[in-house]
A and B are shown apart, each in its own frame.
Chain A
Amino acid sequence: MWEYAPAPESRDIANLKPSYKMFVDGKFVEGTGEPLKTINPATEEVLAEVSTASQSDVDIAVKAARRAYDRVWSKMPGSERAKYIYRIARQIQERGRELAVLESLDNGKPIKESRDVDVPTAASHFFYHAGWADKLGYAGYGPDPKPLGVAGQVIPWNFPLLMAAWKIAPALACGNTVVLKPAETTPLTALVLADIIQQCDLPPGVVNIIPGAGDVGAALVGHADVDKVAFTGSTDVGKVIQGQLAGTSKKLTLELGGKAANIVFDDAPLDQAVEGIVNGIFFNQGHVCCAGSRLLVQESIADELVEKLHARVSTLRVGDPLDKNTDVGAINSREQLAKIKELTESAEAEGATRWTSSCPLPDKGFFFAPTVFSGVSQAMRIAREEIFGPVLSVLTFRTPEEAVAKANNTPYGLSAGVWTEKGSRILWMAQRMRAGVVWSNTFNRFDPTAPFGGYQESGFGREGGRTGLEAYLDV
């Protein structure tokens, strides 16, 4: 047997500090909220203490953003704004290793993902939107589209740095100023991004980052002087925000949960479909709103595909997120692990057949072995509720119509995958899928030029691409 020796990335690269402060008006300041302790989900050790915002800190941050908007940022020519945004992008690349290691420590995702996906994609979002800053007149929203003002942004814990980039880059490019609240379990990389922003000499107040729990987010989105709210997170919280904002003039975009179908036809490139299914649900421990958590496979190839899938999933390496050979890292929090366990138990109780990889799991930390449920029906909770974990449900279909009907039979509609060698069928399916993104013969590919967003309870508004600019322009 050939065992791979541990190949851990050095945690010193993360430059971890014992405490982190919030970033308001160009300075790092102590918040007056109760400080929070952020932990490493792979070891349960405390990484750092982070100061949080109180209601009055939210007000101070919004005021700073308003001042920066009125006095500097809204008046600055797009070509000048672009220089700052390019600078941020280059700094993210420059400090890529630091950000990647810190992200893996704080979030639990494997280093190969933070290194090869999160950090480079975050940089590319800044690069892409920097290019738009002086070309907004050509984006299709009139000759001189105006910014909205102060954007209040709340982001989740699954892609802490990348989501900050998705939110901040278009806002700045369009001329808005930002108050952003990172998730309470993963605030660290956003605060290093704040450090980068400070070193890039952005005018004080253009970007403010205020850690805290849900109450800080609620105060931020409810603040009277916020013109635009962007939220990525759970559908439950999204509904509350939508209710809170009803009747105000605030512009809102929501990117919420999903229960994506990955549909495999009998003529699909099978080995690559297996890869795509694995990437669809086990990427980032399944903590992906667009994860392909429902596999819909044509009945005639179901047994063969599931067999191949089990063999492939058995090779996934679960463990230390900092090990370069780890494929699946730690579940982000104890609460999330409990949710995943609860939902998998319900699936067993409802009669689905469970298969779990026999891979060894670490003794400490929050880990969940990759799991595949077959014999799942649409009526089971596991096929309806977002699981946000490394758990796949396998359903079968016989005709393309049935595949569409089952795929669309969900209150969500964020993403979908179609696997077939037949180009016409890909287009036929894509027209009928109620999903914001339809991947064909691939899954979970992200690019700043491609708009991303959902249908129905997966939210509204688009992020990325030309279409994504609309959310930050007064049009």
Chain B
Amino acid sequence: MAAPTTLPSALADATRDESSLRRFLHGLPGVDQVGVEQRAAGLGTRSIKKASKLHAIDLAISMVDLTTLEGADTHGKVRSLAAKAKRPDPDRPDVPKVAAVCVYPDMVKTAADDLVGTGINVASVATAFPSGRSTMDIKLADTRFAVEQGASEVDMVIDRGAFLSGRYGQVFEEIVKIKEACGDAHLKVILETGELVTYDNVRRASWLALLAGGDFIKTSTGKVQPAATLPVTHVMLQAVRDWKDQTGELRGVKPAGGIRTTKDAIKYLVAVHEVAGPEWLDPNLFRFGASTLLNDLLMQRRTQLDGHYSGPDYVTVD
């Protein structure tokens, strides 16, 4: 097992072999469930108004990974998603574009062709998404295919079965190999926190993914309930903050699934601001994996500027 980047010695030691990794992960401070949920609920009462709200809405729009991950996806649907990504609100050209479009590997080329030169990233799920239940060869092939097709970001899933049965080394190796296969593409590691269940597991999986070189840690596939929650995101934001304190490196966090309203999105941004720190308020370091959130952000943005509510018919459905 080799650490992919040059790490401080304490962290490099953690990745020396399977038992060191286990000792390190189990030596992390625990997470008190009551405490972290209380803190998340407390921060959730922040009241963001006026200019700070408008700023938050624009920031949130620029952090959206506009996503479609359905069996029923078509090239046409992906093309209209790409159009929406470029100009989220066609009547208002000043609305920022989203951060990325997130699709299955076979749709990557369609999205990439439409987004050439826009600065919008194409993210592809890979590694036998969403379950991760396949062989390593297939997962690697899946990843290489997505990158060849033009994906600049890869959202991989970890093997939760291996993680829960304590085979941390296996999970680590998989992430390292997928990272290699990504080449220059950014790697987001989906922990699927809904299946990890405890906050202690979320913290360990976050550190495991960071040690293995993941550029982002991501909560969920969106296919398992519960998907992203505020307290889980708190634990992950704390992990990237601690990572920065120890290594100086900035890594990102992406909550995905279940964030549908502007109000929710702002609660997440407040958590980013106050738990990780203001430098994470950047699309390179924080993303929302969402599909319906964007339209609510657009409607709230109009409300802020026009002084009254419009309605869902004034934003485009795809």
Interface residue ranges, A against B (CB under 8 Å): 1-7, 112, 116, 267-272, 275-276, 315, 324-325, 421, 441-442
Closest CB in chain B relative to A439 CB, distance in Å: 11
Determine whether the beta carbon of A276 is less than 8 Å from that of B35: yes
Determine whether the beta carbon of B29 is less than 8 Å from that of A269: yes
Determine whether the beta carbon of A269 is less than 8 Å from that of B49: no
Contact of A315 among B32, B49, B274 (CB under 8 A): B274
**Residue on A nearest B53 in the bound complex, by CB:** A5
**Given A272-B39, A276-B35, do A1 and B278 touch, yes or no (CB 8 Å)?**
yes
Total residue contacts A-B, CB cutoff 8 A = 65
Contact of A275 among B35, B45, B56, B278 (CB under 8 A): B35
Which residues in A have their C-beta under 8 angstroms from that of B164?
Answer: none
Determine whether the beta carbon of B50 is less than 8 Å from that of A5: yes
Cβ of B247 under 8 Å from chain A: no
Contact with A along B51-62 (1 / 0, CB 8 A): 111011001000
**Given A5-B50, A112-B45, A315-B274, do A271 and B281 touch, yes or no (CB 8 Å)?**
no
**Given A1-B278, A5-B51, A269-B29, do A442 and B46 touch, yes or no (CB 8 Å)?**
no
Closest CB in chain B relative to A346 CB, distance in Å: 33
Determine whether the beta carbon of A271 is less than 8 Å from that of B29: yes
The CA-CA distance from A4 to B47 in the complex, in Å, is: 8
Closest CB in chain B relative to A200 CB, distance in Å: 30
The CA-CA distance from A267 to B26 in the complex, in Å, is: 11
Which residues in B have their C-beta under 8 angstroms from that of A267?
Answer: 29-30
**Residue on A nearest B27 in the bound complex, by CB:** A267
Determine whether the beta carbon of B278 is less than 8 Å from that of A7: no
Closest CB in chain A relative to B244 CB, distance in Å: 11
Which residues in B have their C-beta under 8 angstroms from that of A276?
Answer: 35
Since A4-B48, A268-B30, A271-B31 are in contact, a sample of 7 more A-B pairs with Cβ atoms closer than 8 Å, ordered by chain A residue number, is A3-B52, A5-B49, A267-B29, A269-B29, A276-B35, A325-B46, A442-B38
Determine whether the beta carbon of A442 is less than 8 Å from that of B34: yes
The CA-CA distance from A275 to B48 in the complex, in Å, is: 22
Determine whether the beta carbon of B35 is less than 8 Å from that of A421: no
Closest CB in chain A relative to B249 CB, distance in Å: 18
Which residues in B have their C-beta under 8 angstroms from that of A271?
Answer: 29, 31, 35-36, 238
Determine whether the beta carbon of A7 is less than 8 Å from that of B29: no
Chain B interface, DSSP helix/strand/loop, else mixed? helix
**Given A2-B273, A271-B238, do A441 and B32 touch, yes or no (CB 8 Å)?**
yes
The CA-CA distance from A404 to B118 in the complex, in Å, is: 63
Determine whether the beta carbon of A324 is less than 8 Å from that of B52: no
Which residues in B have their C-beta under 8 angstroms from that of A325?
Answer: 46-47
**Given A112-B45, A315-B274, A324-B46, do A4 and B31 touch, yes or no (CB 8 Å)?**
no
Determine whether the beta carbon of B47 is less than 8 Å from that of A7: yes
Q: How many residues of B contact A (CB 8 A)?
A: 27
Which residues in B have their C-beta under 8 angstroms from that of A275?
Answer: 35, 38-39
The CA-CA distance from A272 to B47 in the complex, in Å, is: 23
The CA-CA distance from A369 to B80 in the complex, in Å, is: 53
Which residues in B have their C-beta under 8 angstroms from that of A441?
Answer: 32, 34-35
**Given A2-B273, A4-B46, do A268 and B29 touch, yes or no (CB 8 Å)?**
yes
**Residue on B nearest A1 in the bound complex, by CB:** B278
Which residues in B have their C-beta under 8 angstroms from that of A2?
Answer: 52, 55-56, 59, 269, 273, 278, 281
Closest CB in chain B relative to A300 CB, distance in Å: 12
The CA-CA distance from A324 to B50 in the complex, in Å, is: 14
**Residue on B nearest A421 in the bound complex, by CB:** B30
Closest CB in chain A relative to B235 CB, distance in Å: 8
The CA-CA distance from A421 to B45 in the complex, in Å, is: 28
Contact of B52 among A4, A112, A421, A442 (CB under 8 A): A4
**Residue on A nearest B34 in the bound complex, by CB:** A442
A-B contact pairs, 25 of them (CB 8 A): A1-B278, A2-B52, A2-B59, A2-B278, A3-B52, A4-B47, A4-B48, A4-B52, A5-B50, A7-B48, A267-B30, A269-B30, A269-B32, A269-B35, A270-B29, A271-B29, A271-B238, A272-B36, A275-B38, A275-B39, A276-B35, A315-B274, A324-B45, A325-B47, A442-B34
Which residues in A have their C-beta under 8 angstroms from that of B278?
Answer: 1-2
The CA-CA distance from A271 to B269 in the complex, in Å, is: 19
The CA-CA distance from A45 to B29 in the complex, in Å, is: 48
Contact of A5 among B30, B35, B52 (CB under 8 A): B52
Determine whether the beta carbon of B32 is less than 8 Å from that of A272: yes
The CA-CA distance from A3 to B47 in the complex, in Å, is: 12
**Residue on A nearest B245 in the bound complex, by CB:** A307
Closest CB in chain A relative to B302 CB, distance in Å: 19
The CA-CA distance from A3 to B45 in the complex, in Å, is: 16
Determine whether the beta carbon of B34 is less than 8 Å from that of A7: no
Which residues in B have their C-beta under 8 angstroms from that of A272?
Answer: 31-32, 34-36, 39
